[in-house]
Structure 1
Amino acid sequence: MVFRLVFVWLCFSFSHSADAAPITEADLRGHIEILASDEFEGRKPGTEGENKAVNYIATQWREAGVVPAGENGSWYTPVQLVDRTPVKHDISLVHYDGQRSKKLRIDSKEVILRGAMQSASMSDAQMIFAGYGTGNAAALRQAVSGKLAIMLLEAPGEREDFPDYRKRKANLIAAGALGVLTVIDDKTRWRRSARRYLTASATLAGEGEHASIEGIISTKQFAKLMRKSGLNADGLVAMARLDDFEPQPLPVHADIDVETRIHDYVSHNVIGKIPGKHPESGAVLFLGHWDHFGECRAEGEADRICNGAVDNASGISLLIEVAKRLARIPHDRDIYILATTAEETGLLGARAFAEHPAVSLDKLVAVFNADTVALAPDGKLIAVVGRGKTELDEEIENIAKTEGREIDKTDKANAFLKRQDGFVFLERGIPTFMITSAFSDQQRLDAYLAGRYHDVSDEADGELLLGGAADDANFHVALGRYFASTATYSKKATSDKQAN
């Protein structure tokens, strides 16, 4: 092990001496100020803001010496999306105990519904509490088929192996649920979720993961509805946490009519490549999402644009500067650089890339996602989202030691494992990480998530902390050197392992 570390250190030291100057805060800030400016309109997919963003990224990569790797030799790969925007809904609920019935009032401000199609309705549909939407497929089908399922958004406790929300909702739809109503748990999350749900929400076209009617309901309203039905919401949630939980039929029937605005359009991933001398030895992928929410506030408000400076103009700025450095260094493996669309609405660009990749996924030896990197004053301590999930932990730790960085061993950052583009690759068995100092200080991260995150205040202003982002960017250059070289990382890609 000592020899290995010395060898790696020598390789890296030689590379450092031959390269251009390290990435600085000023390098990153310049890109962030452009990408997060009002001129880019919040970088919402399908808008003029997208056109400006993807053109800026492609131009920067071309000037860096990266070559296009998109469709038909271009920088871009189209991603077919569908936006669904709630227009109006009518909902009538009746409590029925088998003998008598009574109407139940529901606060329309704390329930938001939209349909898979322009017009959708259901009549006398029984509600069923489906917990987290997990369970045996056959049993679930028997329980929820033809019903309006209520499910919980948040996974129980700290269970990293728990299916993500998207899969759990799809599970209920596949089981035949007519509709899915998701309980959003706290006040801050409800306000943000409601604001986003009322605006256009993108999904992949033809995805087949939408019930006829879907919606969200606040915890407060769910508890009130259960109380009026003679049930206890906290008790139901506690039951859902049990391993032997079974969906619970509710004495509530619903009549619902929904109108939804449907908009089909094309967005784009941006894909570039830095060719290696021996592409047969595999490839390395760096990615980050370019999209944000566009105009996310109502007309008349002073500031309507969610600029997304930290999330994720900062990650794209890192990819631009890392590409500039890596394009100047001879290496063995191809290095792909990917800027994805529609991450904010379900990792959609990454999923589209994984379904139709520019490079065979089994050729990837390592994947690194850059997201929300501008939160720390320095990068001495780094969090590794994906630590403990693959066989590359030791390699990452060796590189960190060589670069004078310390890895946060608490693994708290893995709470975000399924909320970032890297998860799309990790769930396919590809070693994938999101390595950032921004997630190493829980208090600072929590403050961002409770404040500027997904808000109009996430701007390129004096509150940006770019010391850690610059350190992280230089660390990603080191990652690129290491994994793109067969001298420092000789292990074969998945396809080569299988061939042997």
Structure 2
Amino acid sequence: MRTMLATLLTLSATVAPAALNAQSVAPPQIPVETLKTVTKTLSSDEYGGRAPGTEGAEKTIAYITKRFQEAGLKPGNHGKWTQDVPLVEITAQDVQPLTFTGGKQPLSFDYRNDMVVATYRVTPKINLENSDVVFVGYGINAPERGWNDYAGVDVKGKTVVILVNDPDWQQSDLKGTFNGREMTYYGRWTYKYEEAARQGAAAAIIVHQTEPAAYGWNVVQSSWTGPQLEQDTPGDHMDQSKAIGWIQLDAAKQLFASAGKDFAALSAAAGKKGFHAVPLGVEASTSFVNTIRRQASKNVVGILPGTKRPDEVVLYSAHWDHLGHCDPVDGDDICNGAADNASGIAGLVALAEANAEAGATARSQVFLAVTAEESGLLGSKYYAENPVYPLAKTVGGVNMDVLNLIGPTKDFVITGIGKSELEDLVKPLVAAQNRVIKPESHPEAGHYYRSDHFSFAKLGVPMLSAGSGIDLVDGGTAAGKKAEDDYTANRYHQPSDEYDPNWNWQGAVQDLQIYYQLGRELADSDRWPNWYQGTEFRAVRDKSRAAVQ
């Protein structure tokens, strides 16, 4: 995005910041025992997987509050430790098969095995009956990129079938209408459901493919079944599609074949500009009932008040929630979430301890543990939309989602690189550790849009999402890739994401030292890092900063 008024740019534009002196803030002693203890505690079975609205969640909130207080923080929400986050829990039950009629043969796909289906609507029953099916390619409407998969087709009341990721995700480079291999927000499933709803679709079904989705069907099963959380807002989300969900690739191929279409050929066509949506000539049906429970979860907020400009804040964030109980593996149905993200909360506590020990800075430092990240970044979204500290006076910060638990690396990866001036500030800190900055190994996964920094970024606040790459000091990229692939395949969103006493915390310590130095330098300076010119978040930051200058 770009600003419309030159005067606005003049008011808020900043000179690109000079590189930080890596020695101006000495690397702290990160308390490794804190990292171990917090991670082990929060990921124990006693906490039940930390799903919001459960007994385990209440224990989690109490534990984080206790650790913040012991670290030396003050209550961060006008004298309170927590911020209420209104949520509504929707649990689909008696889910009927997703059927397709009118093709060469009737098809029926079973819940969980072949498809998953849910709803954002807060209503006791969903009934999708004989809904015309339309293949809308990647389901993108991006006028600024000259792309509209919905052009010339009316999908009101119909079921749209959508491909995951962006049209050019299979490119090897980062050049293309949608940044090539690097996923844009248009590639995220959240966007695809949002756009389908804007187009009036009754249902939106994404075809699951492991590589462009960046996770297997097992992750869809564990994440999309059981209780689902959404922000509790007026209107009960009745402007959303009746049903949203995923379908297995093999099932999608059967659907297209029954409709007399070639899935591979249409998928290839959908990747080219000028693609037109294709009615499949079949009708979709399913139904399910919902159990609805309204509740309030909590963000935990601690602060180290600033000494000179306490109204200006530097923000550290991490999410405390995980999936709770999930699909059992060998009789274990607790998704403990040790790496994801008990480790991130451990990092948050360790940074609070290190900063409190070092003493107050000119600006305030806020430590925010958010809820419901796994349900769509709901806790951070609520805070960003209802900030305790105005976003126009939030300098920037760091979000932590899964620390490095496999050992020190030679590289440091910035997620969504090329977006903000925080990258210039962090370069000398990385160099001081004799490490190099590298691009993401899997830019097609869209990690920039998958964690809580995005809630702040889209409202203008520069937030760093970065950490160790896969070039391990001991074993190189081969060992790092093996560990990364093993985590994705065998632990991510599964009961096996459990605490391991043999983890190597030295890589996490290195990353946390960088986060500390960056945050502390910002907190003791008068810098206002911005987004680079031409990036999608620059205009909103310029506007918010202009309003307070």
Partner amino acid for 2:455? V
Q: Deviations over 1:97-135 (max 9, x none)?
A: xxxx85334455312333432212133210111222212
Alignment of 1:221-240 (within 5 A): 221-240=251-270
1:88 corresponds in structure 2 to: 94
Alpha-carbon distance in structure 2 between the residues aligned to 1:458 and 1:25? 20
Report how far residue 463 of structure 1 moved.
4.6
Partner Cα separation in structure 2 for residue 196 and residue 358 of structure 1:
30
Distance 2:362 2:255 in 1: 61
Question: What is the aligned partner in structure 2 of residue 419 from structure 1?
Answer: 450
Q: Provide the rounded CA distance (Å) in 2 between the counterparts of 1:349 and 1:8.
A: 34
Q: For residues 470 and 388 of structure 2, what CA distance do their matches in structure 1 show?
A: 30
2:348 aligned to which of 301, 315, 319: 319
Select which of 192, 205, 227 maps to 1:200. Answer: 227
| 2:518 aligned partner | 479
Q: Which residue of 2 aligns with 1:410?
A: 439
Q: Taking structure 1 as reference, are residues 333 and 125 closer, same or farther at Cα in structure 2, changes over 3 Å only? A: same
Q: CA deviation at 1:63?
A: 1.3
* 1:168-205 Cα distance to aligned partner (Å, 9 max, x none): 21111111101111211139621221233221121112
Within 1, Cα distance between the matches of 2:268 and 2:528? 49
Aligned runs of 1:206-217 on 2, under 5 Å? 206=233, 208=237, 210-217=240-247
**1:303-334 deviation per Cα after TM superposition (whole angstroms, max 9, x unaligned):** 11111111111110010010111123231111
Taking a change above 3 Å as real, the CA distance of residues 271 and 153 of structure 1, as seen in their structure-2 partners, is same
Q: Which runs of 5+ in 1 are unaligned?
A: none
Give the stretch that moved more between structures: 250-259 or 309-318.
250-259
Which residue is equivalent to 1:174? 198
| Residues 342-377 of structure 1 deviation map (CA, whole Å, 9 limit, x = unaligned) | 111211111111110111111122220011103331
Q: Report the TM-score, using the length of structure 1 for normalisation.
A: 0.89
Instruction: Report SS of the residue matched to 2:402.
Output: coil
Displacement after TM superposition at 1:491 (Å): 6.2
User: Which residue of structure 2 aligns with residue 352 of structure 1?
Assistant: 382
Kindly tell me: are residues 405 and 77 of structure 1, through their superposed partners in 2, closer, same or farther at Cα, counting changes over 3 Å?
farther
| Shift in CA distance, 39/362, structure 1 to aligned 2, threshold 3 Å | same
Contact 1:373 1:438 in 2 (8 A): no
Q: Does 1:448 align with 2:487?
A: yes
- Structure 2 stretches of 5 or more lacking a match? 1-17, 170-180, 472-479, 531-540
Alignment of 1:385-404 (within 5 A): 385-402=415-432, 404=433
Q: Counterpart of 1:307 in structure 2: which amino acid?
A: N
Amino acid at match of 1:417: Y
Residues 427 and 437 of structure 2 are in contact (CA less than 8 Å); yes or no, is this contact kept in structure 1? no
Alignment of 1:54-203 (within 5 A): 54-70=61-77, 73-90=79-96, 91-95=98-102, 103-108=106-111, 109-115=113-119, 116=121, 117-135=123-141, 139=150, 142-156=153-167, 157=169, 158-163=181-186, 164-186=188-210, 189-203=216-230
User: 2:52 is paired with a residue of what secondary structure?
Assistant: coil
In structure 2, how many angstroms separate the alpha carbons of the residues matched to 1:237 and 1:336? 46
Counterpart amino acid of 1:196?
S
Question: Residues 362 and 412 from structure 1, CA distance in 2 versus in 1: closer, same or farther, beyond 3 angstroms?
Answer: farther
Instruction: Check conservation: 2:22, 2:428, Cα contact below 8 A.
Output: no
Return the TM-score normalized by structure 2.
Answer: 0.81
* Inter-CA distance 392–301: structure 2 relative to 1 (3 Å threshold): closer
Q: Is the 8 A contact 1:386 1:432 kept in 2?
A: no
Name the SS for the 2:61 alignment partner.
Answer: helix
* Most deviating of 362-371 and 40-49: 362-371
The 3-state SS of whatever aligns with 1:304 is strand
